[in-house]
Every structure is written in C-alpha cells, then in structure tokens.
Amino acid sequence: MRKVIFNRYIISMANKRKIINDPVHGFINIPSDLVFDLIQHPYFQRLRRIKQLGLTHLVYPGALHTRFQHAIGAMHLMMSAINVLRSKGVNISDKEAESAYIAILLHDIGHGPFSHVLEDTIINDVTHEELSRLIMNRLNVYTGNAITDAIAIFENSYPAGFFHQLVSGQLDMDRIDYLRRDSFYSGVSEGIIGSERIIKMLNVVDDKLVIEAKGIYSIEKFLVARRFMYWQVYLHKTALAAEMMLISILKRARLLVSHGEDLFAPPQLRFFLKNNIGYEDFMHDTKTLDNFMILDDDDIMSSIKSWISADDHILSQLSGDFVNRNLFHIELRNEPFPEEEIERIRTAVKEAYNLKDDLECNFMVYSGSVTNNTYSPSDENINILYNNNELKDITEASDMLNISVLGKISRKHYLCYPKTVLSREQ
C-alpha cells in the first residue's frame, strides 16, 4: 500500500523566508504567514516541476519557467493592483486583500503536467478548473478554513465581483503576468507589456473592474501583444507538432497497457495509464488525487525515454523521435486540407512505417484545427471609464481595434506527419 505523504509535512514556524527573487518582477515579498504556508505546501511546491509552457521550450529553449514562478508573479501583481485601488479610495480590508492574493496564487493549482495534453489522454474529461477547486477545498481543510473567501473569489461567488475579475477576467493578473513572463523567457520581446501602466489605470465602479480612459492605448497594446504571443509562441506550429506527438505517445501507451503490456512507468503515472480515471474518481477516491499530486513533467519525460526501447514499434518510433527532437512536419492553413491530400499522406506513412490499419495510422498522422480568440465580448467586457463617469466597452471605445475580428475566433487547420515522408513527397 502506498503511504500518504502529506502527514509528514510539518509547517516550519521559524525563519519564514519572506522574499523571492524573480527575474521578471525583482524582489517579491510574501505578504503573510498564511500565504507562506500555502507556498510551502507540497501541492504548491509541485508546481515547481510543471513548466508553464509545456513543450514550447523545444522551439524557444529559454521557455522553461514553471507554474510556480507564474503563480508567485501573479500574486505580486495582485499586491500592486490592490495598492492602486486602495490609493483611489476603493475600500478593501486586509482580509479581502489576503483572500485575493491566495485566490490568484492557487488559481492554477489544478494543472497537471502538459496541461491540455493530459486532459485529453490519461484522464477523461476533467478540467484543471475542477481539479483546482478540489485541491483548494483540501487546502481549506488543511488551513482550518482560512481560505474560504479566496475560494469564493475564485468561484466568483464573492459579493464584490471585481476580485474575481482580477483573478480571472479579460485583464486579470494571470494574463498580465503570463504575457510578460512568457515573453521574457522565450526571448520574444514583442510580448512585453507595460504591466505597471495597466495596473495604474485600474479602478472599480459598482464593484466592477474598469480601466480609466487614458489607459485605452495600453489596453490596445495588451490585446495586440496577446494576439502576437498566440501565433508566435502559444500556437507555434513546431510546438504544436511536438504536443500532438506527445498526445499520441500517451494514447498509445495507455492502449498497450490496457492490452496487458507491461510498460515501464513510475507508480504515479502507471496509476493513470492503467485506470480509466474520470471526475468521479477524483471526487470519491482520495488515492486518485494523491497520485495526481505527485505527477509532473519529469514522470512523463522519464517514461517516454524508456519507451524508446518498447517492443511496440509505433510507441518506440514516436518516443525516439520525440525525445531526440526529430519532430514531425506540420503545415498550417486557413482552409481545411482536402481529404485526398490527407489520404495521400496517410497512405505514404502507412507504407513507410508498416502500419497495419487506419487506427495505427492515427498515431502517426494528425489533422484538425486550432483556434484563438484574443478578446471575446460575449464572455465579459473590458470597460473603459471616462472622466464623465461614462463606461464603454473597449471595442467601442477604441477606434483602432476591429471588433468584428477581436470577437471572432481565428481557426487554422493543420496536417502533421513524419518528416521522412515529406522528403519522399517533395
């Protein structure tokens, strides 16, 4: 039987290190003992081993920063935002401020390794938001219900709605931190935004977050920078190819395990490969979350390396190509690929790799589409506050931003397959 590890965790009472050195924001102060204890908790420390941008470092080698750094950085921005709002006369108690810090600190606590990859492969239809909520509830018990309000802010059930908007909205501290941080570590300077300036423009009207009118150009820049980062970094085609290979590898591994094959994997990963885990399991079996809480990027990468020597030639091929960065060819288009083009590639791949049927071919040829929408007005607005106290949505206030475009989802179609076939094709 596996032991539960967290009983062993002892909160250190003395010497609470209060400053963290962050290359992006400089020295970050930890605002309270409760926050310190949450950061020290194994659930939060785990985020040190989960990269913020998954496989993007295969394209931008510096993009190795973790969800740990991002969560701390977003909390730092929340501290600035609370300061700015208070200086404008918004009434925020110390308790509320601490709850806001904790809400943003924990907003991504439910992320597993290679977030969306995982959600599509080794667990079934469980979102990281659902997991965040589960984990926060455990932490609430752990802290003697000290984070009840933080959870309410996270879930948008706290009366003063602007707190939730600061955690999760069109202009939240999450996005402001990740844009700057992802820019910094990828070396893509175009994503740098004037976070200080945006935060200085925040205000609250009727418990809603607004931006003062003179901040309108900053918001335009923020939205364009975000769009830039989407196409240049987040949906970079080479990183997409790597991600699709990873999905294939995990699906193949799970299939093999379900057929009784004894693939190497550490217990925390084997658990998810062997069992068919869904939301109900997380709810009703504490072992499920216990296992999830020690699963991270390292387990996935370490296992895939060992699978290079697997007997299954598809898993072996995919794992070797993935580990050695011999990534598949990928093409993006605005229009869907013609069926016959896809079929031609599939036939070539089947032949080249001795695949016996379409099912096997699905592991080696991927087609579909990805989307990005920078600003979704249906969802929630960025409201601009004018001197006469009038409010306007940013898409109305800005004569620059094309509302019909910003509200529209951009869709790109892809076709992805081994490079060896490409060279025969051309």
Of 310-349, binders to its own copies (CB under 8 A) are 316-317, 320-321, 323-326
Shortest reach from residue 323's CB to its own copies, in Å = 7
Restricting to residues 15-44, name those near its own copies by CB under 8 A: 19-24, 26-27, 40, 42
Q: What is the DSSP letter of 66?
A: B
| Torsion angle of C-alpha atoms 104, 133, 153, 403, degrees rounded to 10 | 70
Is 274 a binding residue for its own copies by CB under 8 A? The answer is: no
- Chain positions 98 to 157 lying near its own copies, rule: CB under 8 A, are none
- Phi first, then psi, for residue 385 (nearest 5°) are -100, 120
Q: Are 420 and 345 in contact (CB under 8 A)?
A: no
Number of residues that bind its own copies (CB under 8 A): 91
Residue from 99, 186, 248, 383 in contact with its own copies (CB under 8 A): 186
Q: At what angle do helices 216-229 and 173-186 cross, to 10 degrees?
A: 50
Q: H/E/C letters for each residue in 70-125?
A: HHHHHHHHHHHHHHHHHHCCCCCCHHHHHHHHHHHHCCCCCCCCCHHHHHHHCEEC
Task: Quote the longest CA-to-CA distance of the chain.
Answer: 72
Nearer to its own copies, 267 or 368 (CB): 267
Tokens (6 digits) for 382 = 């960025």
> With binding defined as CB under 8 A, does residue 185 bind its own copies?
yes
Nearest to 11, CA basis, from 47, 43, 45, 38: 38
Of 152, 141, 144, nearest to 102 (Cα)?
A: 152
Taking the complex as a whole, the smallest distance from the CB of residue 182 to its own copies amounts, in Å, to: 11
The amino acid at residue 23 is P
Three-class DSSP category at 212: strand
Residue 152 or 422: the one with the smaller Cβ distance to its own copies is 422
Which position among 109, 122, 225, 263 is part of the footprint of its own copies (CB under 8 A)? 225
Please say which residue, 7 or 159, places its beta carbon nearer to its own copies. 7
Residue 107 near residue 155 (C-beta atoms within 8 A): no
Interface with its own copies, residue 178, by CB under 8 A: no
- The residue (of 207 and 298) whose beta carbon lies closer to its own copies is 298
Distance in Å, CB of 395 to its own copies, minimum: 11
Q: How far is the CB of 189 from its own copies (least distance, A)?
A: 5
194 touches its own copies by CB under 8 A: yes
By CB under 8 A, which span of 122-130, 252-260, 302-310, 346-354 interacts with its own copies?
A: 302-310
Give the integer Cα–Cα distance in Å for 404 and 148: 40
Backbone angles phi, psi at 413, to 5 degrees: -100, 145
User: Which pairing describes strands 383-385 and 208-212: parallel, antiparallel, or unpaired?
Assistant: parallel
CB of 87 to its own copies, least distance (A): 9
User: What's the closest the beta carbon of residue 292 comes to its own copies, in angstroms?
Assistant: 12
What's the distance, Cα to Cα, between the start and end of the chain in Å?
56
Contact positions with its own copies (CB under 8 A) in 60-99: 60-62, 64-66, 68-69, 72
**What does the alpha-carbon distance between residue 96 and residue 94 come to, in Å, rounded to a whole number?**
5
Q: Which parts of 384-403 interact with its own copies (CB under 8 A)? A: 399-402
For the bound state, the minimum distance from the C-beta of residue 276 to its own copies, rounded and expressed in Å, comes to: 22
Q: Binding residue for its own copies (CB under 8 A) from 358, 368, 405, 425?
A: 405
Task: Choose which of 90, 146, 213, 224 interacts with its own copies (CB under 8 A).
Answer: 224
- At closest approach, how far in Å is the CB of 152 from its own copies? 28
Binds its own copies (CB under 8 A): choice among 261, 298, 351, 425: 298
Interacting stretch for its own copies, rule CB under 8 A, among 102-110, 137-145, 186-194, 345-353?
186-194
- Return the axis-axis angle of helices 237-258 and 297-307, rounded to nearest 10°: 70
User: Is 286 one of the binding residues for its own copies (CB under 8 A)?
Assistant: no
Candidate residues 32, 129, 266, 342; the one interacting with its own copies per rule CB under 8 A: 266
Are the beta carbons of 64 and 181 closer than 8 angstroms? no
Q: Which of residues 231-260 bind its own copies (CB under 8 A)?
A: 231-232
**Which listed residue (76, 107, 200, 346) binds its own copies by CB under 8 A?**
200
Bridge partners of residue 215, in order along the sequence = none
